[in-house]
Amino acid sequence: MTHTEAAAALEGARFEARQDSRHEDLANDERGPAELAEWARITQLLAGTDDVYDPQGDVVVQAELAADAAAAAAREAELREAQRIAARADELQALRELGTLEQTEPHTGDEVVRDELTRRAGGYVQADVDAWLARALAARLGHYRDPAAREAAAGLLHPPVLAHAALLAVLTQLVADADVDQLPFAARLATADSEAADELAAFLTRAITPGSRA
């Protein structure tokens, strides 16, 4: 497309815009003004040159195409992540029904899956899933073997789960042969008052830390 052809297209767009303005149902249509503005831009781009318009060399068009591609890729990634979460939630639910959830190690992203299970339950807290995650975090099982995953958990898990994990971790250090199954009160304390449970865990940690004063 040459400058002359672009100018002719611009005039045509202006004529269409004037015609549309006379019709109430078309007056607020955003496509007309957008098309008019684009023809004006292309005409200006070619003004004073003998160049032929090429979308491949139009940085504005290429930027828009790149943005569209990035948005499409982001939507695809979101869809894949939603499908992964749903599939993992189905898996954990099946393990719960089989009574083998406690024997399963958590995976990266299970914190979000926990929220999905809660959503499916209408917002009710999934106590067994919370206890499972707390125990895994306290014992550093699954992806919680990685210090970075344990650090990230502080921003992903709810305060009662974190407080429960902290209590379990310190109590199993205080009593060497203690089993988490012997400590159901830790979950009740964390659920009742997670802040107080955190403070208790910190206090007990001081008691068993060499060189500290309880």
pLDDT average, residue stretch 129-151: 95
pLDDT average, residue stretch 112-117: 95
Exposed e or buried b per residue across 74-87, where buried means at least 16 C-beta atoms within 10 angstroms of its C-beta: eeeeeeeeeeebee
pLDDT average, residue stretch 99-117: 95
List the chain domain ranges: 3-53
Angle formed by the axes of helices 127-139 and 110-120, nearest 10°:
170
Are the C-beta atoms of 52 and 1 separated by less than 8 Å?
yes
Of residues 14 and 107, more confidently modeled: 107
Are the C-beta atoms of 191 and 163 separated by less than 8 Å?
no
What is the distance of C-alpha 83 from the center of its chain? 13
Q: Which residues contact 108 (CB under 8 A, 6 or more apart)?
A: 143, 149
Distances in whole angstroms, Cα of residue 140 to Cα of each of 55, 158, 165, 168: 55, 17, 10, 11
Alpha helices in the chain (DSSP H): 3-20, 24-27, 31-46, 59-98, 110-120, 127-139, 147-156, 159-174, 184-192, 194-208
pLDDT average, residue stretch 192-199: 94
**Which helix (H) or strand (E) covers residue 34, if one does?**
helix 31-46
pLDDT over 70, % of the chain: 91
37-41, 96-100, 156-160, 208-212: the lowest-pLDDT one? 208-212
* pTM of full prediction above 0.95: no
- Residue whose pair of structure tokens reads 């060499």 in the numeric block: 210
pLDDT of residue 43: 84
DSSP state of 213: -
CA distance 66 to 59: 10
- Would you say residue 185 has pLDDT above 50? yes
- Would you say residue 89 has pLDDT above 80? yes
CA distance 93 to 96: 5
pLDDT classification of 214: cutoffs 50, 70, 90: very low
**Which helix (H) or strand (E) covers residue 49, if one does?**
none
pLDDT classification of 60: cutoffs 50, 70, 90: confident
Are the C-beta atoms of 35 and 13 separated by less than 8 Å?
yes
Q: What is the mean pLDDT of the chain?
A: 87
Widest Cα–Cα separation across the chain:
88
